């Protein structure tokens, strides 16, 4: 009986999928605490129509960074941790069902 339960827990596809969901939730939780990526911007104005190219135009380049509202990262981190706990609880429920059925 113990071997049947052990084999079922090792090879059941719903358990593998549940473990991947937990891992994905952990990744999303980590990303939610981070700042967004900076953006590189380039603009060209007054481009000549006679083929002068970028050398004859007014060019601007810059970098922008979105700064999260104070406290938003903390709240996003809490939401991410709750999502991980939810995924872990779902995995535990599936594990109990597999053990019961085996």
The residue extents of the domains of the chain are 2-101
The pLDDT-based confidence of 52 (bands split at 50, 70, 90) is low
Whole-number Å distance between alpha carbons of 55 and 33: 42
Residue pLDDT, tens place only, 3-29:
888 888 888 899 999 999 999 999 999
Measured between alpha carbons, how far is 2 from 16 in angstroms, rounded to an integer? 20
91: pLDDT strictly greater than 90: yes
Average pLDDT over residues 40-47: 84
pLDDT at 97 over 80: yes
**What is the chain's mean pLDDT, rounded?**
88
């Amino acid at each position: 009986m113990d071997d049947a339960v052990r084999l079922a827990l090792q090879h059941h596809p719903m358990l593998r999928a549940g473990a991947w969901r937990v891992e994905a939730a952990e990744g999303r939780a980590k990303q939610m605490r981070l700042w967004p990526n900076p953006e590189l911007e380039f603009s060209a104005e007054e481009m000549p129509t006679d083929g002068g190219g970028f050398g004859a135009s007014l060019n601007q380049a810059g970098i922008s960074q979105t700064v999260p509202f104070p406290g938003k990262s903390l709240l996003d981190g809490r939401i991410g941790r709750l999502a991980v706990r939810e995924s872990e609880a779902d995995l535990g429920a599936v594990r109990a069902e597999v053990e019961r059925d085996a």
